[in-house]
Structure 1
Amino acid sequence: MDTMLLRILVSTIVVSLLIVIILLIKKLLNNHMTVKAHYHIWYFLCIPILATFIPWNYFRLGEGTRYFKSLLFFHRDAPSKSERINGVDASQAPNSDLLHDFTVSVNKSTPDFVYHTFFTVWVIGVVLFVGTAVYSNYQIYQMKKSAAAVHNQKLNELLEACKELVGVKRNIRLQETSLITSPITVGIFQPYIFLPSKTGEAFSLNELKYVFLHELHHHKSKDLFVNYVMWLFRIIYWFNPFVWYALKRIRFDRELACDASVLDLLDEIGYIEYGHTIIRFADKKYDRTLEHFAPGIGGTKKQITQRIQCIASFSSDSLLLKWKSKVIFAVLGIVVLLLAPITTVIASPDNVYRFSGNNTVYENLSSYFKGYKGSFVLYDPSKNQYQIYNREMSKQRISPDSTYKIYSALFALESNVISANNNEQVWDGKIYPYSEWNQNQNLATALSRSVNWYFQNTDREVGRKQLQDYFHKIKYGNEDLSGNLDSYWMESSLKISPIEQVQLLSQLVENQWDFKAENIKAVKKAILIDVQKNGRLYGKTGTGMINGKNVNGWFVGFVDKGDESFYFAINIQNMNGQALGSKAAEIAKQILHHKKIY
């Protein structure tokens, strides 16, 4: 599934779950929370958004991500059924079978076009709602241009007095316009209060005081900024009815919180006068597109009725009620912090390797890759220099497919599951798609024929925990073994970039991991492909097949020239099913020959 689509899907589930939790808390603990807390509790919805769309990989949270994935995607390891025969040494002869293709298809029940269709529909919805947001802000812009400044000295003096009472120090422009019938507040950077035309004549100064106190509290509470965050929610989750309902509740809770803030400044007589002022704006109509960006004192008759009921029963918040609200917030905060990693873990697959690019030559080898997307990476340790074709793809992590078997073999050797002199396994009689697989195998034949069942058996015997420790020790790609133990390397959870493939091969040959020297030697012997006068070629191909199409071809290896070595990795991709490991090897050999390396 496309990474972006996965992020949207997972965050939708988490956001919907959080909305349900918040609604339950508000209902069950209604009398244990302040009116303002009922509004501010919605702020927690921002956390899943941050967890989903912030690139956490740049904050080096990979180890925590992998830990949570290991908890979320636990798989029971199947018992191994392999039998070993003693006394078989790893072959030392060159083996051209290493360049042949032995791969099985990974079947995906949902075709890619289904995901692409869903994503396209989502993008269309996003574009439409972004267009609506732009139109609404254009209307506000036009309103600012057409509105006339209020020059009534008494009104301006009243506004300044109310600003001092509320504690607002910013310059706020007071203007009149015929485009609205109820006062509204707009502007994050330059605040405005818009009054309907002739409001100064229709309302007393006392009533206008309550209007100003209400609108100023919107400014003080940063409700205009919250409006834009709410609209961002609407854009991303336009298809989610839970979000639509939550946004409706947020707007109403916002007005109740604003009313409560105003009432805190008044006496009981003021409560009644404030309530009467609100009633005068009941069901005053203005363009609904403005409602989401411009809070105001008015509302529908139903909303005004509920607000009047709250005003009638209003009492100042007690210290105990405030502490209860803080405790509820703290508990919900813990719940949200537990939910946020789920979003981050599932939707952040560590797809790109952070490569410094120091001492790197980027070259154009596109003529070798006709008909394929691809990348080629060559590392010369004598110069500590990389030569790279396709900068972006060289850092992109993808499934290693059968190239991982180099390290699967090494881990089996290190775990004493097999040894250099004891590495043959008995075929269990099951018929596999290649005749070469339907026989006993040793380490050399299993690598050259890319025999899946051989390495699946050794992986089971090594065990998931030990494998995870090894992958972490050598820092193999994203180190993600959360997929099925028999196929995590086969278009599944484990991913690695071409640059990392080259780095690992260099570390393998130099044994920078302090593994047993005889085990390193056994693996090298098993991947020896060819010997010529100018060097020895080692390597392993890998092919990723999805629904019968070869979409991902690898060839990784090195050339040993005695006094110097060159490490390389090539990956090719083709959605038409032509991306074979053997084709990747063919291209790599052409490039190496052109560079006079092999």
Structure 2
Amino acid sequence: MLLISIFKWVLYSTALASILSLIILLFKLLLKNKLGVRWHYAIWLIIVIRLLIPYGLQSSLSLFNLIEFNGKQVTKVTYTQNLEVNKIVNTNKTNTDATKGVIKSILPSNTYNADQSPLYLQLLSSIWLLVVIIIGVYTIVMTMKLNAKFKNGHVCNNEEVMLLLLQCKDKLNIKSNIKVINTNEIKTPCIYGFIKPKLLLPIGFENYVDKTELQFIILHELAHVKRQDIIVSCITGVLQIIHWFNPIIWYSFYRMSNDKELACDALALSHVKCENYINYGKTIIKLLENYKKTPQVYGMSYIINNKSQIKRRITMISLFKKNSYKWSIIPIVTLTLLGGIMLTNAKNKPVLAGNKNSQSINSNKTLSDQDKKSSITQYDIKGKHFNGTMLIIPKDKKIVVGLNKDISKVTKTTSQIAKESNAIVAINAGGFTQDVSGKTMSPSGLIMHDGKVIFNDIADNNIKGDIVAFTNKGTLLVGKYSLNELNKLNTTQAVSFGPALIVNGNPTITKGDGCWGIAPRTVIGQRKDGSVILLTIDGRSVKSLGATLRDVQNILLQYGAVYASNLDGGSSSTMYYNGKVINNPCDISGERKVVSTFMVLP
């Protein structure tokens, strides 16, 4: 399942990057030479950043407000979410045919484990990983072989060459030590390595070019060092291997490599006298006349990578102006705007079921008034980049803390604890300690069940901590409480976790996203009428990235919560209902072992 989750993450990031690549290609076609060569190269870095970090900040300016990824489709959507009431079940008559037949609706099983993953997805993810390993191993082996050959090269001791190197380093303000190596393993000059870069020259090359031509060549190669191009090339190389199946990504990086050479030419020319621009171009042509294909690996950059782009480079050199390499306000503003649009994710704006932009399937008419009051309502929550499941629990239902019988050992999952107690509903609840592998070890904080303290590692009963609790009257308590305060309030059920999201009808997160990032979530809340809201948000998959604390806070506000708190999320997020897990836990095992739950008893 871990492999499938990683593969889905790759598919999602490659889809985002492909869309951005096509947009960037369109921009470059429209703008052409209206913006400088540095801009044409820098805009490709948006693709690199997007592939590395697909989970960007949310923004109303994001391009992806207009796009929704849902399974295999990319469709235009409105700026709001769709919330659906999928089914209402009368839980007063459990285990009877009458109850099971009150409302019939088709809901797919959401229990997530490796065995239930489609066979084609398991096959594709395995093929993807196999090819990544093959290309990766081949690249590493070739790099090591080439590096071993370079070690046999001779350190250049030509005083004229070394003097030119020092002069060029001084012009570009480069402080790092750069060795010049003469070797027969290459046919054209190149720079190699980014930790300890080396300038590689074919043996006898200084006899083929004159002093001025050699200066141009050294300036160009040192421009790669100055601009950190080798590091970027290594990163794009790794990304190409990961996204080997995507021709759009490969073509984008090919174009990025060509733009990189133009930018290096421009940097070199900015340190050359105007009357020598033509001679710089003639030097490129001279090298082209004796060009031979040479071995290329990541971390190496030749002054001539391929013949096809020479015409474009010569054109740029002929049109070059002294200040054209410097940034101006227009390209800076353009890049900033494009970054804000392309590097941010869509802003989630949940709406109530029944809104004109939502779809509602409401079957209350088939139920009696008594059934309506005691039924559990299930909602599917669909955001721009997350899916979730919500249950509304009537106030007459008893909610208790569920836990492992031996509290010192963490041996049960949410569904196992629920089944042992014959619970109708259960969600994971309190926090726990972990070992270095992320394995659940032991409870953390406070756990109360039926008015008794089952676990407490807080030495002072007056110390306040984040608590989620229920009193003997079924009132939800969230926020900072001490054990003594809980006892005075007649608390019967409690776990340690937080933060509180809604207090007395007011949201606690009014700026930012809550600072916890995007992840799977489990949240509990209570409405003014006493009914309890249970919400889980799936995450870390291509269909659902996860939600921020502010996202879930806003959803509960929309549904009338006056008190609400975050519970343990991430791999622990699990919702159990009527005998099965109805969300998609992202843990490797399918469902994580937990220390405590909130359960609804019959």
TM over 0.5: yes
Q: Distance in 2 between matches of 1:258 and 1:107?
A: 56
Q: Give the structure with higher Rg (CA).
A: 1
For the 8 Å contact 1:34–1:317, the answer to whether it is kept is: no
Match of 1:29 in 2: 31
- The Cα of 1:31 is off from its aligned counterpart by 3.0
Q: Distance in 2 between matches of 1:82 and 1:96?
A: 12
SS where residue 188 of structure 1 aligns? Answer: coil
Q: Distance in 2 between matches of 1:245 and 1:71?
A: 32
Q: Does 1:74 align with 2:81?
A: yes
Aligned with residue 414 of structure 1, among 516, 527, 530: 530
For the 8 Å contact 2:191–2:302, the answer to whether it is kept is: yes
Equivalent AA in structure 1 for residue 305 of structure 2: G
Match of 2:186 in 1: 180
- The Cα of 1:376 is off from its aligned counterpart by 11
For the 8 Å contact 1:3–1:347, the answer to whether it is kept is: no
For the 8 Å contact 1:6–1:347, the answer to whether it is kept is: no
Structural mapping, 1:40-59, within 5 Å: 40-52=42-54
SS where residue 194 of structure 1 aligns? Answer: strand
SS where residue 191 of structure 2 aligns? Answer: strand
Match of 2:231 in 1: 225
Aligned with residue 296 of structure 2, among 272, 280, 289: 289
SS where residue 128 of structure 2 aligns? Answer: helix
SS where residue 195 of structure 1 aligns? Answer: strand
For the 8 Å contact 2:190–2:201, the answer to whether it is kept is: yes
- The Cα of 1:183 is off from its aligned counterpart by 0.3
For the 8 Å contact 2:178–2:197, the answer to whether it is kept is: yes
Q: Distance in 2 between matches of 1:121 and 1:495?
A: 22
Higher helix share: 1
Match of 2:582 in 1: 491
Instruction: Single out whichever of 159-168 and 211-220 deviates more from structure 2.
Output: 159-168
Distance of aligned partners of 1:268 and 1:319 in 2 relative to their CA distance in 1, 3 Å threshold: closer
Match of 2:168 in 1: 162
Distance of aligned partners of 1:319 and 1:219 in 2 relative to their CA distance in 1, 3 Å threshold: closer
RMSD (Å) for aligned C-alpha atoms: 5.0
Distance of aligned partners of 1:80 and 1:52 in 2 relative to their CA distance in 1, 3 Å threshold: closer
Aligned with residue 596 of structure 2, among 502, 508, 511: 502
Q: Distance in 2 between matches of 1:277 and 1:215?
A: 14
Equivalent AA in structure 1 for residue 338 of structure 2: L
- The Cα of 1:128 is off from its aligned counterpart by 1.7
Equivalent AA in structure 2 for residue 36 of structure 1: R
Distance of aligned partners of 1:136 and 1:73 in 2 relative to their CA distance in 1, 3 Å threshold: farther
Distance of aligned partners of 1:376 and 1:256 in 2 relative to their CA distance in 1, 3 Å threshold: closer
Higher strand share: 2
For the 8 Å contact 2:190–2:300, the answer to whether it is kept is: yes
For the 8 Å contact 2:48–2:236, the answer to whether it is kept is: no
- The Cα of 1:269 is off from its aligned counterpart by 2.5
1:392-423 Cα shifts (integer Å, max 9, x gaps)? xxxxx9999xxx9xx89x87962499xxxxxx
TM-score normalized by the length of structure 1? 0.57
Aligned with residue 259 of structure 1, among 254, 259, 265: 265
Q: Does 1:130 align with 2:136?
A: yes
Q: Distance in 1 between matches of 2:233 and 2:563?
A: 45
Q: Does 1:8 align with 2:10?
A: yes
Q: Distance in 2 between matches of 1:211 and 1:349?
A: 58
Aligned with residue 456 of structure 2, among 365, 376, 384: 384
For the 8 Å contact 1:32–1:325, the answer to whether it is kept is: no
For the 8 Å contact 2:521–2:570, the answer to whether it is kept is: no
Equivalent AA in structure 2 for residue 38 of structure 1: H
Distance of aligned partners of 1:476 and 1:495 in 2 relative to their CA distance in 1, 3 Å threshold: farther
For the 8 Å contact 1:147–1:177, the answer to whether it is kept is: yes
Equivalent AA in structure 1 for residue 296 of structure 2: T
Where relative contact order (Cα < 8 A, 6+ residues apart) is larger, the structure is: 1
SS where residue 174 of structure 1 aligns? Answer: strand
Equivalent AA in structure 1 for residue 456 of structure 2: N
Q: Does 1:18 align with 2:90?
A: no
The number of equivalent residue pairs is: 405
- The Cα of 1:105 is off from its aligned counterpart by 7.4
Distance of aligned partners of 1:305 and 1:340 in 2 relative to their CA distance in 1, 3 Å threshold: farther
Q: Which runs of 5+ in 2 are unaligned?
A: 58-68, 71-76, 349-382, 390-405, 417-438, 459-518, 534-553
Q: Does 1:304 align with 2:310?
A: yes
Match of 1:272 in 2: 278
For the 8 Å contact 2:223–2:264, the answer to whether it is kept is: yes
Distance of aligned partners of 1:253 and 1:398 in 2 relative to their CA distance in 1, 3 Å threshold: closer
1:375-395 Cα shifts (integer Å, max 9, x gaps)? 998867344269xxxxxxxxx
Q: Distance in 1 between matches of 2:107 and 2:338?
A: 45
SS where residue 120 of structure 2 aligns? Answer: helix
SS where residue 200 of structure 2 aligns? Answer: strand
TM-score normalized by the length of structure 2? 0.56
Q: Distance in 2 between matches of 1:466 and 1:309?
A: 60
SS where residue 106 of structure 1 aligns? Answer: coil
- The Cα of 1:46 is off from its aligned counterpart by 2.8
SS where residue 185 of structure 1 aligns? Answer: strand
For the 8 Å contact 2:41–2:263, the answer to whether it is kept is: yes
Q: Distance in 1 between matches of 2:521 and 2:337?
A: 40
Structural mapping, 1:329-478, within 5 Å: 329-339=335-345, 346=385, 361-362=408-409, 381-384=453-456, 414-415=530-531, 470=561, 473-476=564-567, 478=569
Match of 2:124 in 1: 118
Instruction: Single out whichever of 138-147 and 165-174 deviates more from structure 2.
Output: 138-147
For the 8 Å contact 2:346–2:385, the answer to whether it is kept is: no
Q: Distance in 1 between matches of 2:40 and 2:23?
A: 13
Match of 1:208 in 2: 214
Q: Distance in 1 between matches of 2:316 and 2:28?
A: 15
Q: Which runs of 5+ in 1 are unaligned?
A: 57-67, 85-89, 351-358, 387-396, 418-462, 506-522, 528-598
1:47-103 Cα shifts (integer Å, max 9, x gaps)? 22332489x9xxxxxxxxxxx99998822435989999xxxxx79xxx999xxx999
